[in-house]
Structure 1
Amino acid sequence: MVTEPVLSVRNLTTTFRTEEGWKSVVRNLSFEIHAGETVAVVGESGSGKSVTSLSIMRLLDPHNSRIEGEVILNGRNLLALSERGMQDVRGNEIAMIFQEPMTSLNPAYTVGRQIAEVLIRHKEMSKDEARTAAIAMMERVRIPNADRRFDQYPHEFSGGMRQRVMIAMALAARPKLLIADEPTTALDVTIQGQILDLIKELQQEEGMAVLFITHDMGVVAEIADRTVVMFRGDQAETGTTEKIFRNADHPYSRALLAAVPALGAMEGADKPLRFPRVDMATGAISPLPPQARPVDYSAAPLLSVKNLVTRFDVKSGLLNRATGAVHAVEGVSFDLWAGETLSLVGESGCGKSTTGRSIMRLVNPRDGEISLQGRDVLKLSGAEMQAMRRDIQMIFQDPFSSLNPRMTVGQAVAEPLIKHGIAKGAAARARAAELLDQVGLNSAMMDRYPHEFSGGQRQRVAIARVLGLEPKVIVADESVSALDVSIKAQVCNLLMDLQERLGIAFLFISHDMAVVERISHRVAVMYLGEIVEIGPREQVFGNPQHDYTKKLIAAVPVPDPDRRALRRNTPVDELKSPVRPLGFVPPVRAYREAGPGHFVMTA
């Protein structure tokens, strides 16, 4: 028996008012979702995914946007409803989960009050009834100690738990349709796995229809029954998820899949591999050779870190005295050789970025040794520090915040050259033009400002800025995390090309395990400020020894639709706090050698 769809979108077209007139960003989009079904809308930034969800919910500014076509929910055209009618639909018949829960939750109200508010508004419950129902819903989305945590505020929850609060709020009124707009993008891989499992379980229990919006093809493969691929506002392709993954018709669909790093694809490879070059318009795929420059481990390391300790005081009371400390980095040791990529991986709060910043002396460590080409970094004075930073540079996660919006990109790239006395005036500008060409940008773009570039282009500008000083070591702190999959592949290839040509060593800080597996020579896994496992990439990924490493790898979504019924059953727990009381003495750690150069913490 053929059932009526819960949602039917027909010829949806959304246009925005611009200075040049009305511009369409979604054109003639059509799809259906039935009860109990998950439909994924996928595509890169600017493809129209999120605009589609906001159009369905009618959350766009009516003065600056137009929505045409039909959005039929259980027989009613939502585009024909009054705003008051839509208020009755939102949160009741359709609920939405956004990408960043902290911006969706009101910091001034407890999480329990915010969940209960939905029930009071749509189900006309009393406050006591709403509290009881809200606590039950919090327990249902696996929030531990729900009755106690009902009265806590959003800032007292971790990112994963805040997303669970958002899901509880969305499901409180038992909606027929759940729209999830990039709900796991901002989460660590283990938390992402828990949230995906949770959505699957709740969908089975409630028979909800789910519209899942994402750019992560691994997530699509694991959660979606059918997939809609969007490309620059148009519907490129739609079909069952298995069909699109196995035999996509549209070139863009094939290109999108080809650009996705798949965990396990490096099995048998003895050195890092570049991503294939993919033409996103035609789908043409050109494999690239692996890196040719070998790492000489018999030479002295460029960078040596021994027993690094970085802590931040926690102060409280009327006198603002230190009552404890955040043990952000605790006893970290590793070496880094010329031409090598060592990746630091782990969840948010594990100390990866603080390790990178400590090495750069952007934060001051409490203890330990940092040696760069034989120089003791922790004993350098101001002038010596400036000279040292010619040899070690940092690429940050968000290039927009690390580039001065009032400087042209040419000025931004030339600035370090002038600051360090390498070049001046016309010579600095000429060198900046060469550097932009080196990272694949046209030197004719020199007089543009950062806001005139895409995210991937801005990251290339940031890389060009770093290269001008000809550093020996580059700390790349989540430098590709915010990029689309095709741009991520391009930037990774660029970094690997530069490494092969110039012999640069990379300390690559990331939580993207599939990217790390592809580009790394060695991998160090961090947990609560400590390295729990370190070794050659093929051993850490092929034969993980520490329980936390195994947990990280098992949580990574793989772009394989055969895994759609997968349940990880990861225990629901939050990352433990790194805050310790004053006088706390960390335990002495011991490591065993699991293989050549492969060390695992045992105590």
Structure 2
Amino acid sequence: MSDTLAGNPSSGSASAKAGEPVLSVRGLTTSFLVDGAWRTVVRDVSFDVMPGETVAIVGESGSGKSVTSLSVMRLLARDSSRIKGSIVLNGKDILALSDKQMRQVRGKDAAMIFQEPMTSLNPVFTIGRQISEALTCHGDITRAAARAETVQLLEKVRIPNAASRFDDYPHQFSGGMRQRVMIAMALASRPRLLIADEPTTALDVTIQGQILDLIKVLQEEEGMSVLFITHDMGVVAEIADRTIVMYKGEAIETGATADIFRNGRKPYTRSLLSAVPRLGSMAGQGWPLRFPVVDVETGTRVEPAEVADTVDRGSEPVLDVKNLTTRFDVRGGLLGRKVGAVHAVENVSFDLLQGETLSLVGESGCGKSTTGRSITRLIQPNGGVVRLEGKNILDLDTASLRHARRSIQMIFQDPFASLNPRMTVGAMVAEPIVEHGLATGAQAREKAADLLRRVGLSPDMMKRYPHEFSGGQRQRICIARALALDPKVIVADESVSALDVSIKAQVCNLLMDLQQSLKLAFLFISHDMAVVERVSHRVAVMYLGEIVEIGPRKAVFSDPRHPYTKKLMAAVPVPDPSRRGIRRNLVADELKSPVRPLGYVAPPRRYDEVSPGHLVRLDDGM
């Protein structure tokens, strides 16, 4: 392996810092025991991370990037994994340390942030206790001092009302909030190396921007090094000094980030760069546009045909929502009395035409997912009207609601959690057809096979179980199941947020193809502004449970009027390494809480129509 591919700073990386490497990896080869045989998943990977430097390892699912980071931290099961090569962290030979010595290294010399915070946090302990434990394990500190330091860490990662949330449990936080808790925990002992494994993949753009800014600030203050694992080339451009591209377990290209972006030599590198949706790429386009398709073997980019306009503008809305309100009780005191309410959705109104995609965008906790669940009555709203094909589904009894749900289906963010691990894929797709009496078992299986074929999977896969599929394939299965009852409306709740860029493009193209052929209406819930720009006919921006701006996609993106809409767009990472020094200063303002006292009445809102169909709330309420 050449010096350049090994990531040796002496090979010409302009951003490498002086001194000995904080982390030096040589010839790393990691294998797993599968069916009695050793299977190599990372092969001969070498790189250095210098003091104060950020090195990004980029690649799609299955490329070996996460296994590389887990190998460095010795977090793989000893009985079923084998690590060869050399890993030197802070002058310590990691592979020669005992388990007890390794526990002292983790958190102090190096800390790790994982992609899925709920599986990393202990559900039976408060978040304050879990962060304080990271402080007390690696230093002589009193309980009171640990609590004060924990509150400061929570404030630093913008947890609103940090002091009062010290004693809350993980399930009481949103996904974005839980990830911020994990970041606070990782930073507690001021490690010299922070390993961040897809830490911003499922986060809102503003929170992602804050986390990226926070990491940059901490590097300047502490001289901390960062090993950043991601598939998002926009994030790589904004944070990384050097980039390592991994493909099928090998480091196929390494160099200064600016060089990789300008002169990526490998076809796979060029395909990663081409697949990134860029904000502003839809200027002048009136309706959605498919994503380009890139061949990872050749790097050839194929521009897709335009999507025909599918919206039937002369028809009645297939979904009409008026003054939808959903609140959750907040209880306190010894008797657990109601002391307030979370105003998750407050007087939200919009309609959705046949063949149209309306995107709901906003930060975690803004109420967009609660809106989707309220419309389908997975959550019972407190008030409002939801007319689906002319019927108010909020007034329906259980039997009528069950029948109405044939017309509105939901696709969730995590496909693995949405699928029954004990049922075959064919059985899961066929089940709703049989349950609603639309076909016999044989007919349902035949339709399930056709649906799998329609979403790009083979009918031969019907006998497989969910764990036998990749993340992108599992999401396709969820889409097939959602189509089983021939719905008119599909609520897609963050359905592509955690997927690799190329898989995300494929799934979005699939949804647009299905919309065109079946005249489906989509309520597309997302925080990914670049994807929203590409797939939407109209966009509604939510903040603290209310819509602050709504209008045609072209109008909202070319002429955003509300301060919060502008803030969302400013936070989108751009795949341009020249922006690496930019600070968005998104951490300066304080997130407001949606919790209101008993008897609170939301003030009346006024909207200004700045152009046809483009409405902006006048009283910003921010």
Pair in the same fold by TM > 0.5:
yes
Aligned equivalents of 1:172, 1:588: Cα separation in 2: 43
Among 599, 602, 610, the alignment partner of 1:583 is: 599
Q: Return the match for 2:419 from 403, 421, 432.
A: 403
Distance 2:569 2:160 in 1: 28
Q: Which moved more, 1:75-84 or 1:497-506?
A: 75-84
Structure 2 CA distance for partners of 1:584 and 1:441, relative to 1, 3 Å: same
Kindly indicate whether the alpha-carbon contact (under 8 Å) linking 2:22 and 2:90 is maintained by their aligned counterparts in 1.
Answer: yes
Structure 2, unpaired ranges of 5+: 1-9, 11-17
Q: Give 1:460's aligned residue.
A: 476
Alignment partner, residue 569 of structure 1: 585
Work out the CA distance in 2 between the residues paired with 1:232 and 1:58.
21
Which amino acid in the other structure matches residue 25 of structure 1?
V
User: Equivalent residue for 1:63?
Assistant: 79
Give the match for residue 345 of structure 1: 361
- Find 2:218's aligned residue among 172, 183, 202: 202
Indicate how the Cα distance of structure 1 residues 126 and 256 shifts in structure 2: closer, same or farther if over 3 A, else same. Answer: closer
- Paired residues of 1:523 and 1:537 also in contact (CA < 8 A): yes
Q: Deviation per CA, 1:363-394, whole angstroms, max 9, x where unpaired? A: 22222222222223233334433332222222
> Which segment drifts farther, 562-571 or 422-431?
422-431
Show structure 1 runs of 5+ residues with no match. Answer: none
Deviation readout 1:299-354 (Å, 9 max, x if unpaired): 22221111112223334456554333222211111111111100011112211122
Deviation at 1:88, TM superposition (A): 3.6
1:473 corresponds to 2:465? no
Q: Distance in 2 between matches of 1:130 and 1:21?
A: 51
Deviation of the 1:272 alpha carbon: 0.8
SS of structure 1 residue aligned to 2:278: coil
Matched, 1:552 2:568: yes
Specify the alignment match of 2:15 in structure 1: none
Structure 1 residues 396-435: aligned runs within 5 Å: 396-435=412-451
Aligned CA RMSD, in angstroms, stands at: 2.8
Residues 1:506 and 2:522 are matched in the alignment: yes
Shift of 1:569: 0.5
Question: Which deviates further from its counterpart, 539-548 or 322-331?
Answer: 322-331
**1:126, 1:367 → 2: CA distance?**
50
Task: Give the structure 1 partner of residue 388 of structure 2.
Answer: 372
1:178-217 aligned within 5 A: 178-217=194-233
Kindly indicate whether residue 73 of structure 2 is the aligned counterpart of residue 35 of structure 1. no
| Counterpart contact for 1:139–1:146, Cα < 8 Å | no
**Aligned-pair CA distance for 1:130:** 6.0
Deviations 1:385-413 (A, max 9, x none): 33322222222222223333333222222
2:614 is aligned, of 590, 598, 601, to 598
- Inter-partner Cα distance in structure 1 for 2:412 and 2:143: 48
Supply the distance in 1 between the matched residues of 2:134 and 2:38 (Cα, whole angstroms): 36
Structure 2 SS opposite 1:431 = helix
Question: Aligned partners of 1:233, 1:375: CA distance in 2, in Å?
Answer: 54
**2:294 pairs with one of 262, 273, 278:** 278
Q: Assess, with a 3 A threshold, how the Cα gap between structure 1 residues 142 and 481 changes in structure 2: closer, same or farther.
A: closer
Check conservation: 2:238, 2:575, Cα contact below 8 A.
yes
Residue identity in the other structure for 1:223 = I
Aligned counterpart, 2:7 = none
Change (3 A) 1:535 1:145: closer
Q: Give the Cα–Cα distance (whole angstroms) in 2 for the partners of residues 450 and 505 of structure 1.
A: 27
| 1:360 alignment partner, one of 376, 400, 405 | 376
Distance 1:182 1:415 in 2: 35
Name the counterpart of 2:553. Answer: 537
Distance across 1 between alignment mates of 2:263 and 2:55: 18
Q: For 2:188 and 2:380, how far apart are their aligned partners in 1?
A: 47
More displaced, 238-247 or 405-414? 405-414
What's 1:268 paired with?
A: 284
Query: 441-450 or 157-166: which moved more?
Result: 157-166
Which secondary structure does the structure 2 equivalent of 1:544 belong to?
A: coil
- Counterpart of 1:63, as a letter, is D
C-alpha separation between the residues in 2 aligned to 1:116 and 1:417? Answer: 51
Q: In 2 relative to 1, CA 239–600 (structure 1 residues): closer, same or farther, beyond 3 Å?
A: same
Identify if the C-alpha distance between structure 1 residues 332 and 440 changes in structure 2 by more than 3 Å, giving closer, same or farther: same
Distance 2:287 2:89 in 1: 52
Counterpart residue type for residue 142 of structure 2: K
Counterpart mapping for 1:83-162 below 5 A: 83-101=99-117, 103-105=119-121, 121-123=137-139, 125-127=140-142, 131=146, 134=149, 138=153, 141=156, 148=163, 152=167, 155=170
Shift of 1:70: 0.8
**Which moves more between the two structures, 546-555 or 295-304?**
295-304
**Following the alignment from structure 1 to structure 2, what is the Cα–Cα distance between the partners of residues 147 and 342?**
34
Distance change (3 Å), C-alpha of 1:176 and 1:133:
farther
Letter in 2 for 1:420: H
Q: Which range moves more in the overlay, 338-347 or 167-176? A: 167-176
Q: Which segment is superposed worse, 8-17 or 462-471?
A: 462-471
Per-residue deviation, 1:60: 1.9
Does structure 1 residue 388 correspond to structure 2 residue 378? no
TM-score (norm 2): 0.89
Structure 1 residues 288 and 90: alpha-carbon distance in aligned structure 2, compared to 1, 3 A threshold:
same
1:351 and 1:440, CA in 2 relative to 1: closer, same or farther beyond 3 A?
same
Aligned residue for 1:243?
Answer: 259
Native 8 Å contact 1:593 1:599 kept in 2: yes
Q: How far apart are the structure 2 equivalents of 1:437 and 1:150? A: 48
Superposed CA deviations along residues 44-102 of structure 1, whole A, max 9, x for unmatched, are 22222221112112222222211111112344432223334333433332232333455
Residues 421/209 of structure 1: CA separation in 2 closer, same or farther (3 Å cut)? same
1:114: Cα distance to partner? Answer: 5.3
Alpha-carbon spacing, 1:21–1:567, altered in 2? closer, same or farther (3 Å) = same
What is the rounded CA distance, in whole Å, between the counterparts of 2:177 and 2:319 in structure 1? Answer: 38
**DSSP 3-state at the match of 1:446:** helix
Deviation for aligned residue 1:583: 2.0
Deviates more, 1:153-162 or 1:245-254: 153-162
Stretch moving more, 159-168 or 172-181 = 159-168
Structure 1 residue 464 displacement after superposition = 1.6
CA distance in 1, matches of 2:325, 2:202: 28
In structure 2, distance between residues paired with 1:147 and 1:370 = 36
Contact 1:137/1:172 (8 A) holds in 2: no
Contact 1:307 1:333 in 2 (8 A): yes
Q: Structure 2 matches for 1:288-299, cutoff 5 A?
A: 288-299=304-315
State the distance in 1 between where 2:527 and 2:399 align. Answer: 34
Deviates more, 1:434-443 or 1:290-299: 290-299
Alpha-carbon separation, structure 2, partners of 1:63 and 1:44:
27
2:536 aligns to what? Answer: 520
Partners of 1:331 and 1:487 lie apart in 2 by 36
Q: Deviations over 1:475-525 (max 9, x none)?
A: 111111222221111111011001111211111111111111110000001
> Which residue number in structure 2 is paired with residue 451 of structure 1?
467
CA distance in 2, matches of 1:413, 1:214: 32
Evaluate the alpha carbon distance shift between residue 353 and residue 175 of structure 1 in structure 2; reply closer, same or farther with a 3 A threshold: closer
Question: Are the structure 2 counterparts of residues 217 and 597 from structure 1 closer, same or farther at C-alpha, using a change threshold of 3 Å?
Answer: same
2:276–2:501 contact (8 Å) kept in structure 1: yes
What CA distance in whole angstroms lies between the structure 1 residues aligned with 2:275 and 2:100? 44
Which of 225, 228, 237 aligns to 1:221? It is: 237
Letter in 2 for 1:235: A
CA distance in 1, matches of 2:126, 2:426: 48
Match of 2:41 among 25, 47, 69: 25
Q: Which amino acid aligns with 1:395?
A: I
The 8 Å contact of residues 176 and 202 in structure 2, kept in 1 or not, is answered as: no
Q: Displacement of 1:165 after TM fit?
A: 5.4
